[in-house]
Amino acid sequence: MATKTKAMFVTQQEFVEWVRDTQARIPGCVVFCHGVGLPIAVWQGADEEISAASRLYIAERDPSRTEPTIESLNEERIGWVQIDVPRVVDDTLRLCQVGVKSDWWNKARAVSEENRSSLRFFDKVWRVLRAHLAFPVWATNVRTGASSQYKAIGYSEGAARWYLQGGSLGQEGVVNIKYEIRQ
């Protein structure tokens, strides 16, 4: 059982274009939008669908079910990647997590199973997203003052403009870390 995760700061407008770019560069992949309390739904291409979603699932191919679920993607051994939709909350551009895990819970059999195709698919998706990013992002502990660069956290041109124009960067639920873009 394995996981992969990456992180980035990106504006929502750029993000929508990157999702389109991902679909163009990975033929056959399908994007699903998911919001709190809503079932996943195939993205029809409208910016507003992504704005309304809290996360996206990008799958390597269309599932056979007409109303797919994450469980059904796993059952069909379809590789998929989960991505947080960028948000600005209280004048703070939030960190987006891009992640995948190979294990999933098979309710019918009551066992943990593995879907390694998701790990391979993650690399394809990250290759597309990474091409749009600059690195690193700096993080400072506001309590201790300790600071370090994070080579695994990227940022977009729009996120850099946001930050340089006085916007802040942050992570949901994390109040003791200040993120910086140093150019």
Residue finishing a domain among 112, 130, 148: 130
Chain position carrying tokens 């290759």: 127
Residues spanned by the domain of 122: 7-130
Distance CA 110, CA 92 (A): 41
* Residue 178 phi, psi dihedral angles, 5° rounding: -110, 125
pLDDT (0 to 100) of residue 68:
73
Say if residue 11 is in the same domain as residue 73.
yes
Per the CB < 8 A criterion, the answer to whether 24 and 110 are in contact is: no
pLDDT (0 to 100) of residue 74:
67
pLDDT (0 to 100) of residue 183:
78
In a domain, 141, yes or no: yes
DSSP 151: T
In a domain, 1, yes or no: no
If one counts the domains in the chain, the total is 2
Please give the single-letter amino acid code of residue 12.
Answer: Q
Say if residue 159 is in the same domain as residue 96.
no
Say if residue 124 is in the same domain as residue 149.
no
- Provide the residue count of the chain: 183
* Residue 14 phi, psi dihedral angles, 5° rounding: -65, -40
Say if residue 53 is in the same domain as residue 35.
yes
* Mean pLDDT of each 10-residue bin along the chain, 183 residues long: 92 96 92 82 91 90 75 73 94 96 72 78 95 97 96 97 96 94 89
pLDDT (0 to 100) of residue 18:
96
Chain position carrying tokens 């190979």: 102
Distance CA 51, CA 87 (A): 9
Say if residue 40 is in the same domain as residue 115.
yes
pLDDT (0 to 100) of residue 104:
64
Say if residue 41 is in the same domain as residue 17.
yes
Per the CB < 8 A criterion, the answer to whether 100 and 90 are in contact is: no
Q: Collect all residues with Cβ–Cβ distance below 8 Å to 178 and sequence separation of at least 6.
A: 139, 140, 142, 168, 169, 170
**pTM of this prediction?**
0.89
pLDDT (0 to 100) of residue 78:
74
Please give the single-letter amino acid code of residue 173.
Answer: G
